[in-house]
Amino acid sequence: MSNPPDRSRLIIPALAPVYGSGYVTVETILRVVAGLLLVTHGYGKILDPMGAVGMVEGLGFYPGVFWSPLLAATEFFGGILVAIGLFTRPAAFAATIVLLVTVYFHGVVQAQGLAGAEKSILWTAIFLFFAFRGGNAQSVDARLNRVF
């Protein structure tokens, strides 16, 4: 998927094989870890899908009985999909939307500014990357030879 780095441009040319072969594994680790952390974040919500009705309505998402279970499913099942690399792009895109709301929630609603929103900003960037990149060679999407 990526060309090996140009040895002549590397400060330490001997690292070219490491950079050339390791990026797929490192990208997979990032995808799996991000997906599984999203699953753990959504686990409580999937056990009580109506538990966030008040919160989502407090953010202006009506009716909460629609948005609360959707939030739970996006975090829990979307995290599983990203972790295994199945329908990676749409699952990561949905997670990106959820995380943009958390940026707004922490940064504006709770008036925490950057200090409160920075973790959500980082998570948004990670899922945005996978929304555009999709899964890689080490994903179910690749094994099925189909991508969204």
pLDDT computed for residue 19 by the predictor = 81
Other C-beta atoms within 10 Å of 100: how many? 16
User: CB neighbours of 113 closer than 8 A, spacing ≥ 6?
Assistant: 107
Per residue in 25-79, pLDDT tens?
Answer: 999 999 999 999 999 999 999 999 999 999 999 999 999 999 999 999 999 999 9
Instruction: Please report how many Cα atoms fall inside a 13 Å half-sphere around the Cα of residue 33, on the Cβ side.
Output: 8
Average of per-residue pLDDT across 137-144: 94
Q: Is the dihedral of CA 53, 129, 147, 77 positive or negative?
A: negative
Per residue in 116-134, pLDDT tens?
Answer: 999 999 999 999 999 999 9
Quickly state the pLDDT bin for 3 (edges 50, 70, 90). Answer: low
pLDDT computed for residue 1 by the predictor = 47
Q: How far is CA 87 from CA 40, 42, 63, 79, 146, in A?
A: 19, 18, 27, 11, 9
Average of per-residue pLDDT across 72-94: 98
- Distance, in Å, from the CA atom of 78 to the CA atom of 12, rounded to the nearest integer, reads 39
Q: Which residue has the higher pLDDT, 9 or 49?
A: 49
- Distance, in Å, from the CA atom of 130 to the CA atom of 6, rounded to the nearest integer, reads 25
What does pTM read for this prediction?
A: 0.89
